[in-house]
Structure 1
Amino acid sequence: MTTSTDSPQVNWADIAVISVLVGLFACAVGGTPVLMGVLLRQENQTASFIGLSAAMTPLGLITAAFITPRIAQRMGAVTTALSCALLGAALLLSMAAIPDSHFWLVARFAWGMAISGFYVVNKAWLAELTPASSRGRVIGIYSTVLAAGFSMGPASLAAVNFAPFASLGILAGALVVCAVTLLAWQHRAPSFRGKERVSVLSFIPCAPVLLLASAAFGVFDHVTLGFLPAYGAGHGVSLTQMGVAVAALNVGNVLLQTPIGWLADRFPRERILIGCALLTAIGALALPYAIGSWLLMPFLFVWGALAYGVATVAVALLGDHFQGGALLAGSAALTMAGGLGGIAGPPMVGAAIDVFGWRALPVSLCAAFLLLGIAVFFAGVVRPGSSKENLNPSRS
């Protein structure tokens, strides 16, 4: 059991603000790639160019993960997060003002850096402000709001029929509201300024299994979005039905993260992480049997939530073991690992599908989460000797 009767209480007002901030940001983040894909197809761009354009965002995300902790510790977390929100809004408006697909390549790279900077600070705030006894439940609620924000982005664009100016204006407006909310709350936010500086590279060997958890979810997220509709079509399911199926996958993310977080507060979090990983692996092998049957929607509802639960519990474990500068570096490292999983996963799974056929999709996802479960069981989530007290800082 991880709870304690004398643990400090959760400040729900602060948690609500952090969740609202990430929900607004996720609305813009979830809508942008969908909008860009629609606009580039309307311009008759090649699939290769559309893929290159999509890759700019995760490349920016990974790049920023290395520098965000240092910036936040020098400028303060509020200034960093506020700058990222306003930069994101400015980039979206610039893409509306300059409808040039080649300019969008550069803008989407910078957009990825803004995304990364905001998420790194936001997740670190959440872990810093949440008592250990309630951390799983709180991060579950946070993950629910995050997933709901991702869903709201594309839905808001559909309401204006993906009109470029209106769509980019809506997404930029969400970020401006995020910035205004942050300004109103800034006096309560941890600054991380002046704390021990820990680089992302020095953090990596301290918690490689946590990074593997984030990478595994990155693989799952991007592979299912990229291949699940085609996988279903290959098994005789219509694209319309598979569109609803992908929505069911995300609804599970929205509704079941709080129960998973509650379990992570009641039982050892490493066991919950192992459980989510192994059940996701088993679910991958069950996919061929669920596809095309009445079980598909409820199956995807639960399967997606279990995979997302891996990321939820990983953030809770990060807060359990690290604080201050190490927590900020760890948040950046998790963001980077998720981005790497999102970049590397789809090409690797796609190559496996080309060689072995569609059966490679469930087998690949099973292998990723089975590896994670085995790693947690045998190695734990943090390297022995690495903790919030003795992680060597860099004061440069």
Structure 2
Amino acid sequence: MRWATYFAVCMSVISVGLALGVTLPLVSLRLEGWGYGQFAIGVMAAMPAVGVLFGASLAGRLAAWIGTPRLMRLCLLAGALSVVLLALLPSYPLWLLLRLLIGVVLTVVFILGESWINQLAVEQWRGRLVALYGTGYALSQLSGPLLLGLLGTADDVGFWTGACLLVGGSLLLLGRDGAPSVEAHGNAWRDLIRFSRRMPAVAWAVVLFAAFEAMILTLLPIYGLRQGFSQETALLMASVVVVGDAVLQLPVGWLADRVPRQSLFRTCGVALLVSSLGMPVLLQTPLIWPLLVLFGASAGGLFTLSLILIGERFRDDALVRANAHVAQLWGIGCLLGPLTTGAASQWLSSHALPLVMALGAAGFVFLAWQRAAIGGPAEAMD
């Protein structure tokens, strides 16, 4: 196995998480300082999710034309340029376009980077290697806002730091090989439907985790505030969930190399269902803290295991196409999760966030116990 290449690709993708963790909060804070309302900030926050859908449709076609390593380097540099322009051109309409571009190019990096990691991973280590990447990326997202706090938000140092991180990620890929070979394809929606029918539990797990991640840092603190917690405690609740997601992925990956992966997949779904239903019941008790850790770990486990299960079934072009579909499903989850939860919070229940997650987890549990829920071995993407 090419260990140096594996770590280089991991660090390259992780640099994206750290750059986003620095720049995304800075954009929101800058818009708030300019006097924009929550809706305008929300529209800005949604632009990368829209870019995900475009990037997923372009990744395979561009990789076949340019080559995976070169395309990843170019996209990282394009992302760096977009972040630099955020600092140089403070304009809301222009920022919308730049955020859309960032979503497109960095989605290509995620699709190709995760495919490359899975292509390199040897089967007996696949669970741990994919989980190590997932842990690193989650920690990078958690560290981004902390780094921004050290850099400060009064000037544009955060933007320049994010750009430097992306340039550094591009340099890490120089001279690396072992990337999956790719054929030109556009990942049409009918192909996504075919993939979702072939692996329904995996498809729903990706949508569910994307919705989870989109809601935790934006809606969970608000949920805590409305349940009577202080702002500090509400933010701490969100941090505990993210830490649970990040820290416990390595144990999940270790187990994935030792126990039947489909059984572990189902167990994570049940744990997410139980922790979601338990949140309103235990919210005002000390037990809420270990429950939040379980909540984050089980949701993160679903995504980590989805990547593992895809990696053991697909290779080369089929692997890139499968990861492109994961990105499409991710974009759908990022768009639908906050919208559904926000509407339910306003019109149905103050506990909408955990109840929506419980409903999604129940749907996953149902799918995971169906026959052929994750597809057969060594599937081909025809």
- 1:271 counterpart = 2:263: yes
Contact 1:215–1:340 under 8 Å retained in 2: yes
For 1:111-126, list aligned pairs within 5 A.
111-126=102-117
Select which of 185, 190, 199 maps to 2:179: 190
1:355 paired with 2:347, answer yes
CA shift at 1:203, angstroms?
A: 5.0
Matching residue of 1:155: 146
- Closer/same/farther in 2, CA of residues 48 and 168 from structure 1, 3 Å limit: same
**How far apart are the structure 2 equivalents of 1:200 and 1:305?**
32
CA distance in 2, matches of 1:192, 1:168: 34
Distance in 2 of aligned mates of 1:175 and 1:337: 25
**CA RMSD of superposed structures (Å):** 1.8
Q: Name the residue aligned to 1:181.
A: 172
Report the equivalent of 2:187.
199
CA shift for structure 1 position 11: 4.1
Aligned to 2:3: 12
- Distance, in Å, in 1 between the alignment partners of 2:51 and 2:25 is 18
CA 1:15–1:211 in structure 2 vs 1: closer, same or farther (change >3 Å)? same
- Kept in 2: contact 1:24–1:178 (CA 8 A): yes
Q: State the match for 2:47 in structure 1.
A: 56
CA distance in 2, matches of 1:85, 1:154: 20
Q: Match of 1:215?
A: 207
Q: Which residue of 1 aligns with 2:238?
A: 246
The answer to whether the Cα contact below 8 Å between 2:65 and 2:184 also exists between their aligned partners in 1 is no
Equivalent AA in structure 2 for residue 163 of structure 1: A
* 1:309-388 equivalent positions in 2, closer than 5 A: 309-383=301-375, 387-388=378-379
Letter in 2 for 1:87: A
Q: CA deviation at 1:45?
A: 0.4
Residue by residue over 1:222-272, the C-alpha shift from the partner in whole angstroms, topping out at 9 and shown as x without a partner, is 122222112212222111111111111111122110100111111111111
Give 1:135's aligned residue.
126
Counterpart check, 1:36 vs 2:30? no
Q: Cα gap change, 1:11/1:79 in structure 2, threshold over 3 Å: closer, same or farther?
A: closer
2-structure distance, mates of 1:112, 1:346? 18
Equivalent-residue separation in structure 2 for 1:43 and 1:73 (angstroms): 43
Counterpart pick for 2:284 among 277, 281, 292? 292
Give 1:227's aligned residue. Answer: 219
Q: In 2 relative to 1, CA 26–200 (structure 1 residues): closer, same or farther, beyond 3 Å?
A: farther
In 2, Cα distance between the equivalents of 1:203 and 1:45? 37
1:196 is displaced (CA, Å) by: 7.4
- 1:26 is aligned to 17
Q: Pick from 251, 262, 269 the counterpart of residue 259 of structure 1.
A: 251
Q: 1: distance between equivalents of 2:351 and 2:180? A: 48
The CA deviation at 1:197 is 4.8
Deviations 1:267-316 (A, max 9, x none): 11111111111110110011113323222332212210110110000000
CA contact (8 A) 1:78 1:189 kept: no
Distance in 1 separating the partners of 2:138 and 2:128 = 15
**Correspondence for 1:4:** none
Structure 2 residue aligned with 1:110: 101
Question: Which residue in 2 is equivalent to 1:6?
Answer: none
TM score, norm. by length of structure 2: 0.94
Kindly provide the amino acid, as one letter, of the partner of residue 306 in structure 1. S
How many residue pairs align between the two structures? Answer: 378
Three-state SS of the structure 1 residue aligned to 2:23 is: helix
CA contact (8 A) 1:58 1:339 kept: yes
SS of structure 2 residue aligned to 1:226: coil
After superposition, give the CA deviation of every residue in 1:318-355 in whole Å (9 maximum; x if it has no partner). 01111111100111111111121011111111111222
Distance 1:139 1:330 in 2: 16
Deviation, structure 1 residue 198: 7.5
Contact 1:85/1:175 (<8 A) preserved: yes
Matched residues in 2 for 1:196 and 1:180: separation? 26
Alpha-carbon distance change, 139 to 259 in structure 1, aligned in 2, over 3 angstroms: same
- The answer to whether the 8 A contact 1:200-1:333 is kept is no
The answer on 1:71 being equivalent to 2:47 is: no
- The answer on whether the counterparts of 1:270 and 1:380 sit within 8 Å (CA) in structure 2 is no
Normalising by structure 1, what TM-score? 0.91
Q: Among residues 69, 83, 87, which one is paired with 1:92 in the alignment?
A: 83
- Report the 3-state secondary structure (helix = DSSP H, G, I; strand = E; otherwise coil) of the residue aligned with 1:340: helix
Q: C-alpha distance in 2, partners of 1:196/1:53?
A: 31
Residue pair 2:269, 2:298 contacting (<8 A) in 1 also: yes
For structure 1, which runs of at least 5 residues remain unmatched after alignment?
Answer: 1-9
Measured after TM superposition, the shift of residue 124 of structure 1 is: 0.2
Aligned-residue sequence identity (percent) comes to 26
Amino acid at match of 1:338: W
CA offset digits 1:341-387 (Å, max 9, x no partner): 01111111111122222132222110101111211210434446x84
* 3-state SS in 1 of match to 2:218: helix
Give the AA of the match of 1:129.
L
* Counterpart residue identity of residue 187, structure 2: S
